[in-house]
A and B are shown apart, each in its own frame.
Chain A
Amino acid sequence: MDKMPKWADIVLIPLISLMLAFAASGLVVLAIGENPIQAITVMVKGALGSTSGLGYTLYYATNYMFTGLAVAVAFHARMFNIGGEGQAAIAGVGATLVILAFDWPHWALALPFAIMGAALFGGFWAAVPAYLQAKRGSHIVITTIMFNFIAAAVMGFLLNGVLKNPNTQNAETVKFPDGAHLPTAHEFLAPLGINFSKSAPLNISFLLALLCAFLVWFLLWRTRLGYSIRAFGQSEKGAKYAGISAFKIIMISMFISGALAGMLSINVVMGEQERLIKEFVEGAGFVGIAVALMGRNHPVGIILAAILFGMLTQGGFELLWEMPNISKEVVLVIQGMIILFTGALDYMVRGPVEKLFLRMKKGA
C-alpha cells in the first residue's frame, strides 16, 4: 500500500488532531458559560506572549523532554516504564548529595557531577524493577508504578530525617551553595543583548535536554547497542536467535531510561528550587508517557510534543489566573482532550487523511 508524504504524517495529522481537541475543549468552556475564543487566547498568550510566559513554557518543556525521552528509550526495548515519577524523585536525592558534598567553586564543575549523581540514582531506581522483570518475570508496569510510591515514601523519610534543614519547619534540605547555581535564561542571554525575564525559571538545563535528545537519537539509530535495543523491542524471539541478551538489553535500556528521567531533577532541584523539596516532580513523569506517545518515540517528535505540553501547563496556569470561572478541573479537561485527540485518537484522523491522499494521487 502506498503511503502519504512524510510531512502529512508528522505535521498535518497532529495539527488536525490539535484543532479537533481545541474544538472539543471549546464546547466544554462554552458549556460553563465562558467564551472559548477568549480562553484559548489567554492560554496561548500566557504560554508564549511574554518572555516570562515563554520562560515557564520552556522550563516545563525541559522536564517533559527528559521524561518523554526516558519513556521512549525504554519503549524501544518494549519496556513500558511508567516509573519516571519515582526515578526523577530519587535522582533528586542523588543530585542533592553530590551538590551538598562540596563547596563547588563554579557551576560548570558542579553540573557534570550532579548529572552523574542524578543519573546513577535515577538509573538505579529503574534498574531494580528491570532486574525483577529480566530475572523473575515481574511485570515492569506493576513494579515501576509501585516504585513510585516507594520513592515518595523514601523522600518523606529522608526529608524529615537526615536530609532535613534543621532551621525550617518544611520537609526540605538546606539551600544549595552559590557555586552550584545554574545560569538562568536571563543570565546567559544577557551577554547576547537579549533581555529575558528575570522571574522565569528557564535555565541551562534546557540545553541539556536538547543534548539528551540528540544523544538518544544517536544511541538508537547509530550504535550497535541501539540496534540491539530496537531489535529486542521488535522481536524477543528474533533477539534470541541473533544472540542478543535479553537480560543485558532490559537492564541497560531501563538504566538509561531511569537516568534520563533523573535529569528532570537537574532542571527543577538544581536549576530552580536550589534545594531538595518533597514533591518536585509534580506529575511530569506521567506527562512523559503522553509526550513519548505523541512524539512517536522519536527525539524530534518528543521535543515538539514536550514544548506543546509545556505550553499547555503554563497556559493552563494563566487561564486559572485570568478566568476565575474556569476551575483547575476544567483546565485538566482541556489538557486531557488534547492528549486524547493527539495520542489515543490518532487513527481517527489518520485513516481519513490517508484515504484522501490516496484519492488525490489517483485523481492526479
Chain B
Amino acid sequence: MANAQPTERQETAAPAIELVGISKAFGPVQANKDITLSVARGSIHGIVGENGAGKSTLMSILYGFYKADAGEIFIGGQKTLIPDSSAAIAAGIGMVHQHFKLVENFTVLENVILGMEDGPLLRPSLAKARKLLQRLADEYELGVDPDALIENLSVGHQQRVEILKALYRKADILILDEPTGVLTPAEADHLFRILQGLKEQGKTIILITHKLREIMEITDTVSVMRRGEMTATVKTAETSPEQLAELMVGRKVLLHIDKKPATPGADILEIKNLEVTDEKGVKRVKGISLEVRAGEILGIAGVSGNGQTELLEVLGGYMPASGTIRINGTEIDLTGKHSDGQSRRARGIAHVPEDRQSEGLIMEFSAWENMIFGYHNDPAYNKNALMMDNAAIRKETAAKMERFDVRPPIPALQAKNFSGGNQQKIVLAREIERNPELLLVGQPTRGVDIGAIEFIHQRIVELRDEGKAILLVSVELEEILSLSDRILVMFDGHIMGERDPAKTDEKELGMLMAGMETNGGAN
C-alpha cells in the first residue's frame, strides 16, 4: 500500500480516472496502443470490444497486474503509480473479476475480510465487518447472509460478495469484467439496480462487456476498443447497437440473421423420460422428454448448470443415463457399456461441445490433428491398420480451413495459437463437414468475436436448411431467440416449457430460466 500516492479528495470536476498515452506490448504483440481515456466521477462507463481488443490488458494495467510500457494514470486528477494490486486498492480501485476469487469453504464474512484483518485475532475484525456489511446491504440492495458459506450461494449472490469485498476495501472506482455472463436476466437486472445505486452514491463504475444490450441499458458513456486502440468514446444516448458493433468490428455487422421459416420433417431425435445422475450421486436431469425434427433448430435456454451440459454429454455418448433415446427410430444404449463418443458418431451425431478448450480441441495439438479429433479411426484418415495418413489429413484440413474461413489458414499451427472464434470454426468445420443427421451445439459463440458469431450462425442455419436436425444449447438468450425454431427452457433438470421464438421475449424466457411459471406457452 505504501507505493501508492494517496488520492486527494478533490471537489473539482477532475475525472475519476484519466489514462494518458498508455501502451503495452507483449513481445511483438501491441496489446494497447497509446490509449487515452477519461472516466467522469459518478458515472457508469462501458468498455466494449472484441476478444483480444485489449480491454483486459488495459484494466490489468489499471489494477496493477501489468506495468504499462508508456503512459500515465491519473486518479482524481492526481498522477498515481500503480505497481501492484494493493496500490490499486489504496488508490480506491476495486475489481470484480469474471471468475470470482472467493474461498469456497469460507463464509461471506471471512471472505470479505480476507487480507484485511486488523490483527492476529479474527473476532474483532469479523464484528467490524459485520456492521459495515449490514450498512452496505441496506444502502445498495446488497443483501447477503454474512454467515453463509460461499459454496452454498448462488452465482448472483457470490458476485454480490465480490462487490462487497471491493466496497469493504473502500473502493470509489469499481471495475466489473463481464459481470453478467453467469447471471439470469433477473439477476442481471438486480445487479444493474445495485450499480445504479452505487452510482447515485457517487461511485464510479467501469463495465467491461461484449453485450451491447447491457451497454445501451445502463452506461452513461461508452468507449470502443479495436486491435489495441481506443477507436471511439461516445455518449450512450447518442449511439445505437449497430453503430457500436460497426466500431468494434470495423465493418457493418448483421446483428440479426435472416432465415427462412423452418420446414421440419420426421423426428430425428426422440428423448423420453431421460434421467441423469452425476458421479457425486446428484440428479442433474430429472425426467425430460423432447424431440428434434429434421430441418429445425431446437434451442435449449437456461442458466448454465441446470442440466443442459449433462443432456449434451449423454447424447455425445460419454455420460450414462436412464430413459430412452431414439435416433431415426432406433434406440441407443444409455448405460455407457456398449457406447461411447465413437459409436455416437457412427450413428450420425456430430457434437460441438460447450467447452471447446478442454473437450472440443486439444490445445497443444496442431489444427490438422484437431481436424480429425473423434474421427481418427475413420479409414479415410488411415493408411492401414497401423499408420495414420498425415499427408491426406493435412490436405483435407487446409481445404476445410479455407471453407470455414479459419485464420490464419495454417494446418500446422497449434490450436492454442488461434483466437477463440477461429478455434470454434475449427470445431464447427470438423463437425459440420461430416454431414451429420443430428448436430449437437453447445454455447457455439461463447468467447467468440462478433464478426465470427455472424459466420457461425449462418453455418448452423445452412445446415438446418439442408434438412438436418440441430439441438442448440446456449445461455445467450439473444442467440437462442434469433437461431431457434422452437425453444425449450431448462431449469433444475426439468423442462419449464416450450415457447415459439416469434411469440416470446427475453423477459418471459428469463422468468422460466429462474424457475417461475408463466402463462405463455401458446403451443
Contacts and interface: CB of A to CB of B under 8 A. Distances in A.
Contacts of A241: 316, 318, 341, 351, 353, 359-360, 374
A2 B29 CA distance: 9
B376 A224 contact: yes
Nearest to B342: A243
Nearest to A1: B27
Given A223-B386, A243-B340, A243-B342, A231 B28 contact: no
Nearest to B339: A243
A235 B345 contact: no
Contact of A2 (B27, B362, B364, B386): B27
A238 B342 CA distance: 13
A238 B386 contact: no
Q: By CB atoms of chain B within 10 A, which of A234, A235, A358 has the most?
A: A235
Interface residues of B, number: 34
Contacts of B26: 1
A242 B358 CA distance: 11
Interface string B342-371: 111100000101010011111111000100
A228 interface: yes
A244 B365 CA distance: 16
Contacts of B28: 1-2, 358, 362
Given A222-B388, A227-B388, A238 B29 contact: no
Contacts of B316: 241
A346 B26 CA distance: 22
Contacts of B359: 235, 237-238, 240-241
B201 interface: no
Nearest to B417: A1
Contacts of B27: 1-2, 358
Nearest to A222: B387
B341 A242 contact: yes
Contact of B364 (A234, A243, A245): A234
Contacts of A237: 355, 358-359
B341 A240 contact: yes
Contact of B365 (A231, A243, A362): A231
Contacts of B340: 243, 245
A243 B341 contact: yes
B390 interface: yes
Nearest to B316: A241
Interface string A244-259: 1100000000000000
B377 interface: yes
Interface in A178-233: 222-224, 227-228, 230-231
Contact of A223 (B343, B360, B387): B387
A120 B496 CA distance: 57
B76 interface: no
A228 B375 CA distance: 11
B341 A223 contact: no
Interface string B23-51: 00011110000000000000000000000
Q: By CB atoms of chain A within 10 A, which of B317, B355, B376 has the most?
A: B376
A76 to B, nearest CB: 11
B358 A231 contact: no
B506 to A, nearest CB: 31
B373 interface: yes
Contacts of A238: 358-362, 373
A1 B28 CA distance: 6
Given A222-B388, A222-B390, A240-B341, A231 B377 contact: no
A72 to B, nearest CB: 15
A290 to B, nearest CB: 23
Contacts of B365: 230-231, 234
A234 B359 CA distance: 10
A230 B360 CA distance: 15
Contacts of A224: 376-377, 382, 386, 388
A228 B364 CA distance: 13
Contacts of B362: 230-231, 234-235, 238
A79 B59 CA distance: 39
A243 B353 contact: no
A224 B380 CA distance: 13
A161 B455 CA distance: 73
Given A1-B26, A231-B365, A235-B358, A242 B390 contact: no
A243 B373 contact: no
A231 B370 CA distance: 10
A161 B279 CA distance: 48
B385 to A, nearest CB: 9
A234 B358 CA distance: 9
B318 A243 contact: yes
Nearest to A362: B28
Contacts of A244: 341
Contacts of A235: 358-359, 362-363
Nearest to B355: A237
B374 A242 contact: yes
A363 B343 CA distance: 55
Nearest to B343: A243
Contacts of B29: 1
Interface in B360-413: 360-365, 369, 373-374, 376-377, 382, 386-388, 390
B378 to A, nearest CB: 10
Contacts of B377: 224
B521 to A, nearest CB: 34
A79 B338 CA distance: 26
A243 B382 contact: no
B276 to A, nearest CB: 15
A244 B345 CA distance: 12
A141 to B, nearest CB: 22
A46 B345 CA distance: 60
Nearest to A236: B358
Contacts of B343: 243
B330 to A, nearest CB: 19
A230 B376 CA distance: 13
A238 B112 CA distance: 37
Contacts of B382: 224
A5 to B, nearest CB: 15
A237 B356 CA distance: 10
A78 to B, nearest CB: 12
Interface in A276-321: none
A256 B501 CA distance: 55
A232 to B, nearest CB: 9
B317 A243 contact: yes
Contacts of B355: 237
Contacts of A2: 27-28
A238 B358 CA distance: 6
Q: By CB atoms of chain A within 10 A, which of B359, B363, B382 has the most?
A: B359
Contacts of B345: 243
A288 to B, nearest CB: 23
Contacts of A227: 369, 376, 388
Given A231-B373, A243-B317, A244-B341, 6 more contacts: A1-B26, A224-B388, A228-B376, A234-B363, A241-B316, A243-B340
28 contacts: A1-B26, A1-B27, A1-B28, A223-B386, A224-B377, A227-B388, A231-B373, A234-B363, A235-B359, A235-B362, A237-B358, A237-B359, A238-B358, A238-B361, A238-B362, A240-B341, A240-B359, A241-B318, A241-B359, A242-B342, A242-B376, A243-B317, A243-B318, A243-B340, A243-B341, A243-B345, A244-B341, A362-B28
Interface of A: 1-2, 222-224, 227-228, 230-231, 234-235, 237-238, 240-245, 358, 362
* Complex A-B, nearest 6 residue pairs according to Cβ-Cβ distance, in ascending order: A243-B341, A243-B342, A242-B374, A243-B340, A1-B27, A241-B359
